[in-house]
Chains A and B, each alone.
Chain A
C-alpha cells in the first residue's frame, strides 16, 4: 500500500473516531455531574467562561440557556434515592424540608429534557404547592396514575428525570451544594 493511502486511512479513522467519542461523551451524561448529592447532580459553572468544552457542550444539549449558579442552581435526578433509574410505571414519594432559595420547583422530563404528555397537563410542582407539616416538611407523589394530594404525573414514560430548580439560592445550596439538604426520592411501588 502506498504511504499516502496509509496516512489517509489513519487520518479519516482518527477524525471519525474523535468526533464519535465526543458525541458519545456529551450524550451519555446529563446536565452536569460536577457536584453530586444523593440522587441529585449539578453543575456549578453553567454559563461561565470557566466551563470546560465538555461541560459547555453538555449544558448546551441538556439545558441550553441555563443561568449561572448565583442566579439559579439546577439539580437533576435520574435515579431514586436508592440508585435505581426513575421508571414511569412506578410510584415515588418526593419529600423534603424548606430549601434555602427564593423559589423552587421540580419538573419531570424525558430524554434530553422534554416535557411528557399526560392527561392532566401537569409537568411540575412548585415549591409553594405541597402542604407543610408542623416542622416545615413537605411531600408529593410522582406516579403514572392520579394520586391524592399534590401529584406529578409520569405519563407512563419508560424513563424520566426530575429537575429541581432553585432561584436565588443561598447558604449551602449555593456555596456547598454537595452537602445541602435536598429532597429524597423514595420508590413506593411499580405497576
Chain B
C-alpha cells in the first residue's frame, strides 16, 4: 500500500515545488500587466497619460502617494525603440523611472542627476539602434511602464506643475 503511493507522493511534492515557484515568479508579471492596463486606459500605448492627484476615488495603483503627481507611459518596444522626453520642474523633487514587465527598474533619473536639464531616454531592446542625442536604456522585455513622479508640496503649485508635466512625450522612434 505505502509502496504504491511512495512515487506518486514524491512526484506530487515536486509538482508542489514547481507550482510554488511558478506562482511567485508569475505574480509580478500579472500585477504589472494589470497596472499597465489600468494606466494604459488613460492614454494609448507609447504615449503619456497624466493622472489626477491621488484620492480615495482615484487609486489606479496600490499605495499611491497623495503628495505626488503621477504621469505614466505604458510602452511596447515591439515596433521599435521608444523615446521619452521629460521637462524639468524646478524647485520640486521629480523623477522618471522605467519599470520592465517583471517590475525591475531599468533606469531612474531625478533632478539630482539632471541638474535642471530635460531627461531624454531611448528605451530599447538589445538589437535596436537609437538616436545619438538620447541616453539608451536597455530592457529585457518589450513591455513596461515609465513613471514620472513630481512632488506637489503646495497645492497652489499644481497648475504650474501640471502644465510642465504635460510637455512630456513618449513615442516610437523614427529610425528609418
Contacts of A68 in B (CB 8 A): 105, 108
From B30, which residue of chain A is reached at the shortest CB distance? A60
A23 to B27, CA, bound (A): 9
In the complex the two chains form, is B93's CB within 8 Å of A62's CB? no
Question: For the complex, is B48 an interface residue (Cβ under 8 Å from A)?
Answer: no
Question: For the complex, is B83 an interface residue (Cβ under 8 Å from A)?
Answer: no
A123 to B19, CA, bound (A): 38
In the complex the two chains form, is A53's CB within 8 Å of B35's CB? no
Q: Which of B4, B59, B147 makes the CB contact (< 8 A) with A65? A: B147
Count contacts on B: residues with CB < 8 A to the other chain. Answer: 51
A115 to B11, CA, bound (A): 45
Contacts of B54 in A (CB 8 A): 115, 123
Interface residues as binary, A135-153 with B (CB distance below 8 Å gives 1, 0 otherwise): 0000000000000000000
Measured CB to CB, the closest approach of chain A to B60, in angstroms, equals: 10
In the complex the two chains form, is B23's CB within 8 Å of A18's CB? yes
Identify the interface centre among A25, A68, A124, A167: most chain B CB within 10 Å of its CB: A167
Interface residues of B, Cβ cutoff 8 Å to A:
4-5, 7-9, 11-25, 27-28, 31-32, 35, 54-56, 59, 61-67, 93, 95, 97, 99, 102-105, 108, 110, 112, 145, 147, 151, 153
